Structure 1
Amino acid sequence: MMKIAAVALLGALLVGAPSPTPTPIADGSGGSGIGIQLLDIPVDAQDDSRARTNIVDNVAPGTTIQRRVTISNFDGGEQQASVSAAASTVVDGAFTPDDAHPNELVSWISVDHPTLTLPARSAADVTVTIAVPADAPEGEQYATVWAQADAGRQTASGVTIVNRSGIRVYLSVGAGNGPASDFAIEGVTASTGPDGVPQIDAVVHNTGGRAIDVKGSVALRDGPGMTSAGPFDLGTATTILPGATHTVSIPLAAGLSAGPWTAALTLRSGLTERTETATVAFPVAEADAPVPAPQLWSAVLVAGAGLVALSALVWALVLLRRRSSRAHARAAG
């Protein structure tokens, strides 16, 4: 289990603890609606970007951990908010809510303030407790701690939109530090996305024992005329389960030449980083592709035959008009 930095957590949670006193949000703080942010960062994970924004830990069965989060109301009016946990899963590289299928982890999570009244542009702290039972199975489970506005917003078409934001929970149960995280880049290629923008595709294999959130960037160099481009960032992290393989795609910029290029790719998940370099060339659209020689000569022959036929037709019309004119002349004489 990781040690918590900065502020010590106080004792066990008390049922019916007094509501926290909201504090004003500093001017210039961004956001809208209801937001949630992790406050406690494990000492051993200060440099781990995943642990700075998500609850990521490995604990032994029978262990209880706590994390503080702050719930913010960025709107200009008072908001009633609720805080709760729900199961999550990984679908096609995305960490996805799965409210309909609770897992064991959800039953281990509680919060000291499930409901909050937040004045305009104010925030309050809530403590999240994860009590792992002594007979908990080993392995990693996933959940999300949600902060949600109780009052939804109704659109003109009658659809109610609920504002909520969440913090991911990656909890591994097992002895020691738990299974290590690792991954490998098994291939780098170039393609064109559905919108016609070129992209770099990387096949990533999660070779470790924990889920990973892959982010990174790619830079292009040694292009036509020794040009370079980028770096281009992978905007949204791709989540890959242990043992799974997923293709990560990084969109580039429209108008890039076909290449060839040298693509220098860097991907990371937490403290694990991998790099790969490959020579790539982007597919050329059919409209831009050169016409092969046989097709070119066929096009020339077809065009020539068309011109000959047109010339013959014009000449026939001329002869016909001449004969018609002579016939009229003889009839008049």
Structure 2
Amino acid sequence: MRRRAPSLRVPGAALAALALALPVAPAADAAPANGAPDPGFLGFRLLEAPVVRRDDPRALKYIVDHLKPGTVIERRFEVANNSDTGRQVRLYPAAAAITENQFAFAEGRTPNELTRWTSVEPAVLDLGPQEKAEAEVTIRVPDTATPGERYAVVWAESGAPPDRQHNIGSVMRVGTRVYLDISNSGEYADFRISKIVAVRGKDGRPSVLAHVRNTGKRALDLRGKLHLADGPGGLDAGAHAVTEGTTLPPGGSGTVSVDGLNGSLPAGPWTARLELESGMVRHSLAARLTFPAPGGSSVGWIIGSSNRPYWYAGAGVVAVSGVVLLLLRRRRGRTAPNPPPQVPSSPNG
């Protein structure tokens, strides 16, 4: 008997933000070629996420799940035709992989093991001008599935073929990534920041690099910020976003960078606090940094760190930083039972 994993409807407040975050095709896919008819602009957003990941921002953007063999999941999504002409939109899964620390999409409808487990209904939507419609993706994991994480993309595609007025056709794809982990045991995700490096390019521009290793069993999409404080004369250079786009496979390692720092930034020393996260996994590392002369690099002296790895054991989500609190609550429960947990009404709890 196949088991169905429960899902949670994504709150409407989150959907408005996801309409911009979810298109994952390269810019070239979305732009018509020179002289081609304009295919219009498609919108794509998820409507559901796993119940156990209601506080996981990645699960509101992508299909992220951890399943046992023999499980079936269904996720509804919405496609919008944001143009003034009717469009036929084709819906289908296609292969993806993590290549050189980036989530890479395969060409066209290239299949892989995960896409063979995946179906989308309906396969075609005929949308009028400014019309929206819902569809559903179903993933049926076979009983014989082996452990490991698989990757794919659920695409919505619309195009305009060449005609008498246009010698070149055009195609646009938008969609959402799929990260599916298969195992009969629990799920574990974690990473380690090993060092922070101050860099100054030959043009004099400063930047910061962090070396990160994925020590868990799930792929990681790293994002975060760097705060520079306690500089010369007590200067505070504020917070700066980490350049996104780094995806580390299980066991993989790589770097994330903080670019766009002010070229006139003093050499230092600075207290740099880097905060990185991927879904429910969060780590920070603090170091004293001094920016070198143009063309050089300097490794920071580590002065502190914190971590919050994540595992899912089938009955709920536990963070390491919350273990002591959980034990204390259980002890108190011997005299005064805790109230039942409540499901938050928004993704932020």
TM-score by length of 1: 0.73
2:111, 2:141 → 1: CA distance? 16
Offset, 1:161: 4.4
Amino acid in the other structure paired with 1:262: T
Offset, 1:280: 1.4
- Contact 1:200/1:252, CA 8 A, preserved across alignment: no
For residues 170-249 of structure 1, what are the structure 2 equivalents within 5 Å? 170-177=179-186, 179-192=187-200, 197-249=205-257
* Inter-CA distance 194–123: structure 2 relative to 1 (3 Å threshold): farther
Out of 248, 254, 257, the position equivalent to 2:266 is 257
Partner SS for 1:243: coil
Out of 119, 134, 158, the position equivalent to 2:143 is 134
1:257, 1:186 → 2: CA distance? 25
Partner SS for 1:51: helix
For residues 31-50 of structure 1, what are the structure 2 equivalents within 5 Å? 33-50=41-58
Unaligned runs of 5+ in 1: 8-25, 287-333
Per-residue CA deviations over 1:175-220 (Å, capped at 9, x if unaligned) read: 143x300011011011135875321111111000111111100010
Amino acid in the other structure paired with 2:219: A
- Contact 2:200/2:291, CA 8 A, preserved across alignment: yes
- Contact 2:202/2:294, CA 8 A, preserved across alignment: no
Offset, 1:259: 1.8
Residues 1:5 and 2:13 aligned together: no
2:238, 2:167 → 1: CA distance? 44
Aligned to 1:10: none
Amino acid in the other structure paired with 2:56: D
* Inter-CA distance 229–81: structure 2 relative to 1 (3 Å threshold): same
Offset, 1:139: 0.8
* Inter-CA distance 160–276: structure 2 relative to 1 (3 Å threshold): farther
Offset, 1:241: 0.5
Per-residue CA deviations over 1:285-322 (Å, capped at 9, x if unaligned) read: 37xxxxxxxxxxxxxxxxxxxxxxxxxxxxxxxxxxxx
Aligned to 1:111: 120
* Inter-CA distance 170–160: structure 2 relative to 1 (3 Å threshold): same
Residues 1:63 and 2:71 aligned together: yes
Per-residue CA deviations over 1:2-24 (Å, capped at 9, x if unaligned) read: 521149xxxxxxxxxxxxxxxxx
Offset, 1:223: 1.2
Identity of aligned residues (%): 39
Residues 1:90 and 2:98 aligned together: yes
* Inter-CA distance 193–149: structure 2 relative to 1 (3 Å threshold): farther
Cα RMSD, aligned residues only: 2.7
Offset, 1:35: 2.1
Amino acid in the other structure paired with 2:270: W
- Contact 2:44/2:80, CA 8 A, preserved across alignment: yes
Amino acid in the other structure paired with 1:43: V
Offset, 1:127: 0.4
* Inter-CA distance 235–79: structure 2 relative to 1 (3 Å threshold): farther
Runs of 4+ in 1 over 6 A off after TM superposition: 29-32
2:49, 2:167 → 1: CA distance? 41
TM-score by length of 2: 0.70
- Contact 2:9/2:47, CA 8 A, preserved across alignment: no
Offset, 1:119: 1.5
Amino acid in the other structure paired with 1:4: S
1:252, 1:132 → 2: CA distance? 44
Report the count of equivalent residues. Answer: 264
Amino acid in the other structure paired with 1:269: S
Partner SS for 1:106: helix
- Contact 1:81/1:118, CA 8 A, preserved across alignment: yes
Q: Which has the larger radius of gyration?
A: 1
Unaligned runs of 5+ in 2: 11-15, 24-39, 296-349
1:196, 1:143 → 2: CA distance? 41
Partner SS for 1:175: coil
Amino acid in the other structure paired with 1:212: L
1:148, 1:165 → 2: CA distance? 7
Amino acid in the other structure paired with 1:168: R
Per-residue CA deviations over 1:274-293 (Å, capped at 9, x if unaligned) read: 0001111223237xxxxxxx
Amino acid in the other structure paired with 1:192: R
- Contact 2:188/2:218, CA 8 A, preserved across alignment: yes
Amino acid in the other structure paired with 2:213: H
- Contact 1:80/1:151, CA 8 A, preserved across alignment: no
For residues 292-303 of structure 1, what are the structure 2 equivalents within 5 Å? none
- Contact 2:162/2:169, CA 8 A, preserved across alignment: yes
